[in-house]
Amino acid sequence: MQTLKALILVFIGGGAGSALRYLLSKWLNPLIAHFYIGTFSVNIIGCLVIGLISGWVVRTNYLDQTIGLLLITGFCGGFTTFSTFSLENLEILKSGELNSFFLYSLMSLITGIAAVMGGIWLSRVIA
């Protein structure tokens, strides 16, 4: 597949996923104080969608590269990277590498939160 066509498919899917994430979060987050129900829902829905697509691929042994780029990389990637993170963790669990699973999960969570804190700190220092 041509690189430009692949980029366009990811762009379209990612845009749709990002827009839907924004709308759902704006609509649902205000419903419960101190709990981002919209973000939580998006993450879980994204996990369900990437699981459905991945399960279909395994069951049918077929994945059109166009569909994969549009839905998995694009839509699910734009909708939430949590779905990809969860799929990757499942793959690690399937391989039986429990130490890698715990390391990857904890390091992603801890480092991600630390990076956000570091970015906030940097924005204060630089500005």
How does DSSP assign 33-75, residue by residue? TTS-HHHHHHHHHHHHHHHHHHHHHHHHT---HHHIIIIIIII
What confidence score (pLDDT) does residue 123 get?
Answer: 84
Q: Quick check: 63 pLDDT over 80? A: no
* Residue 127 confidence (pLDDT) above 70: no
pTM over 0.95: no
Q: What are the structural domain ranges in the chain?
A: 3-80
Residue 69 to residue 21: CA distance in whole angstroms: 18
Question: Is the model's pLDDT at 67 over the cut of 70?
Answer: yes
Rounded Cα distance between 6 and 71, Å, is 12
Q: Is 12 exposed, middle or buried (0-12, 13-18, 19+ CB in 10 A)?
A: middle
The pLDDT of residue 56 is: 81
Q: Average pLDDT of 109-127?
A: 86
If residue 83 lies in a helix (H) or strand (E), which one and from where to where? helix 81-94
For residues 31 and 57, the answer to whether their CB atoms sit within 8 Å is no
pLDDT band at 50 (very low <50, low <70, confident <90, very high): confident
Q: What is the mean pLDDT of residues 44-71?
A: 83
